[in-house]
Structure 1
């Protein structure tokens, strides 16, 4: 084999100029041999001596100067660099696997035999020389076994040595001495058979012989490359064969020792790399079915519903448990879907909790984190939460992966504009035009420029804020900015500008802008809506109707808001029949329920103080849809304000009857139950009309329906009715508060005390103070008692006070602990009687 290598090297050397060959200096680049061949990349400590000997022999074939290119690299290194193809690599992998399988089959018999056999008799080699038994058997087996050539044996030796290198340090130390002894024995026997002295290399040490002197002479240039002695070449081949036998024997000994250290012989050889195993041989692969998109969407829907129904104050560990129990892969798509579903449900608090949970998860690696934050901004905007949206927007500016883009700027601008936050909106525009305040790592995006210019959507958001703030100057600022940046205002922009002028009650500017829109572009439904409202405010109902007819002739489809405003305009003018005919057009383009439309028409009639038109529309409404609670409360309030108590009483009775027939949740769609506003409205009407019987009836129904006594709302009615000799509300309220174990108001205690004293029921009067006045002792001072007796002098007689003092004295004498309230009462009664 080395003869072939030397022949190839001589051919390569003869093809270049001889004067370019030089001996490599000691400063040769690490990783290359002196002739330019790259060193092996594997770690092979056992072949180190053989490699050095090979380098010395190849050096003898070179002149004092090596071939070098102009950039300092070696031509031979480039020519002999090993670059295997992918097919060759696969063939090598398959050959390694086949060798290991054959080795495994012969392991139990061949390994034990190699350890137990004695050395055989010496046998002659190819040249007639005699070798010892181990050497001859090793050479024969290496040549004939598995049909491998000498190169294949060398590759096998390298692989065995690489396995040896992977063994632990303890095994190396145990076998190191045995390997050294075996090497010495083999070399001594080979040297006797050749009759020459070979260089012995044991553990990195070397004894110099005459052959080494010849090698040194050749290294120094004593021989020409083309005139190497034949004897030297023969010695080199013999030395090479001895080196191969040493390495093969050392690998065999290491392999046998490692196999003996294991409890089972097949345990080591059964561990194969995953790269050499086929898919059928893997037993740990779990064949899980792929989750379909429909099933994944169902899981996401269930997770969103769980989160929506869970308590908002749940601990973090429980929230994480719910998120993991969904069995979904948290990627950009799944998180976006969860946020979108929660946004449709209106649960913006849970959306912020999901965002916070994602920030705490280090395992969640998102490629579209900016899109997730933008979706959360959209949810907060639809929920009318500008403060939370602005906080999230500031959080997005802290890192590059979430830094706002044009879509995020549009979202936060629309949210702030609808809320009327003018100052914050202009701050967002300044941030949009400025570089980031915080220095961000741009990574590979070198040309990343976050500075943007506001577009037409951002300017429209500014106009929305001007409508809320009623700042007409801001509208002209927007038009000026659009002109400076070369952007043409759209019909929507002109409509918003007209709406700003309408909010500021500048009706002449509205008409002027509308004429300008007609000259520049085609007006849309928004501009006509603002025009109709302006004509309605000016009292020009016919002009409003003509404007809508002109719009329809142009082929412009009116919006539901436009027809709704026109119908309300007609209702306020008393033209109810015409307004009801517009309901059909409203139903074609409306998204809101029909009951909302009818309620708005009724309210427009009532604002115009036209109760007859409102009552007519209310009756027409019952034929097409069921009135809701808002509609009934509006009509109830309208009946009472216009002195139609009987109509209000009938409507209230019908609502009570609907409450008695509620049996399932579906009944709530067709029946109306009175609420607190309903009871308070009818109570005020009964009290103002001195309808005591109706007042007592309504008050009892209110308590029966679960609406409790409200001190701020009902105390005045109860006290005034008691002073008007109507004691039913006072007794009902007293019993209700005592049963509910609620704290009794101080005026209610004094009122009942005076009532019992007026009836000469002294024990009941004292019980009001003893049982319920302990916590209100500061309200029963001497001055407060004197004021009470003075204001109720027409109700309280002197004999009643004397009887009260007698019972109070008896009660104090029977009690172990004196009552401060009763003592103050006795002193106040004596003082009042003395003054009286």
Structure 2
């Protein structure tokens, strides 16, 4: 009845049935386990802990009578309490229950509940994962894949690359498969805490040692290469982007929308083509102010903003090619004629005020 009420979502009825039952018969371990499940699902950690401790105390001889006399917790009881502790982030009590479970002769089924150990490891209880991992190996079983990957992540964190290699080779011998995308997801988490340097050191180490080139080893190497390459591109992408923007602006007159400007008399024009633009620091600041003054044509605003913020990619010249006509051409996309823009002195004053703020 308790479990049926839980399936229907009637947590209050579960508790009422349990309390009413105690007036007519003594609860057994099945009833205790059912209520531990109820309290876990209802996020009632305090109630689960109280019931768990009361039941455990009777078996220890601390209570000789009462509703919980002659009860003995089983593996399901400990598993339920571990789940309740994990869901409530009670990691100290989680460790206490895990140790009590081991001392009572029970083992956590790693094929079903490996996620509990992984979650505990990420919460700072890595030694519990390591104990479970060694216990599984001593029983001549193959640990769950998630335990292997979490162990590898932890050895990377500690800089113990020798053990990382040993774990990877063990996974290859056990034919455990982890895809490149799965490795990438796991390793990205390490970047958040360690930075790219640690993963680069790992890649260098893996490339210089003996590896079993079977799944999942090739996939982690591909993942490390991918992450390293992407981070490198992210580091240089802004400059490349600026050069692309400059090239686009330099060829605006070839766009059909701007054909009216093809015969504008611009100093330095050669055979009807504009010369390469050379941006000075003041020019870049001017474009940043133009971007702030106009809300039209958002995509061109973004291009101009990127160009201004990355002006160090270009060689500044003391002599500027920007005449009124050229600036009208470049600002045509945001539909503000250059003649209507505030004077440069006013723009620069606004910029200095922003910098001081």
- Give the alignment's TM-score, normalised by structure 1: 0.23
| Structure of higher CA gyration radius | 1
Higher relative contact order (CA 8 A, sep 6+): 2
